[in-house]
Amino acid sequence: MKMNADDALIQINEAIKAIESGAQEYKINNRQLKRANLKDLYDERAALQSRLAAEQNNGFGLNTYVARFDKR
């Protein structure tokens, strides 16, 4: 089952928050867990935010610029 962009963004934000609060890597008994690279999470979050913005703005994402040229 494919996760929608809203849910993915929530999970990415939770992972970023956990890492920023000092939980990049931890160990429980003999098991060790290391979360994703923070830069990769930031990049994925930016891509998801742009995708969501494009869906809400008729195809125009966060990094879209519009120029208007008038005859004078």
* Residue 69 within any structural domain of the chain: no
Q: What share of the chain is helix, strand, coil (3-state, %, to 5)?
A: 50, 10, 40
Q: pTM for the complete prediction?
A: 0.64
pLDDT at 66: 66
* Residue 37 within any structural domain of the chain: yes
Rounded to whole angstroms, how far apart are CA atoms 44 and 15?
A: 12
Q: State how many domains the chain has.
A: 1
* Residue 70 within any structural domain of the chain: no
Model confidence pLDDT, tens digit, residues 30-66: 998 887 889 999 999 998 888 888 877 776 655 666 6
Domain that residue 43 falls in: 5-56
CB contact set of 6 (below 8 Å; sequence gap of 6+): 52
- Give the CA diameter of the chain: 74
* Residue 71 within any structural domain of the chain: no
* Residue 65 within any structural domain of the chain: no
pLDDT at 17: 92
Average confidence (pLDDT) over 21-28: 82
Model confidence pLDDT, tens digit, residues 5-24: 889 999 999 989 988 888 77
* Residue 62 within any structural domain of the chain: no
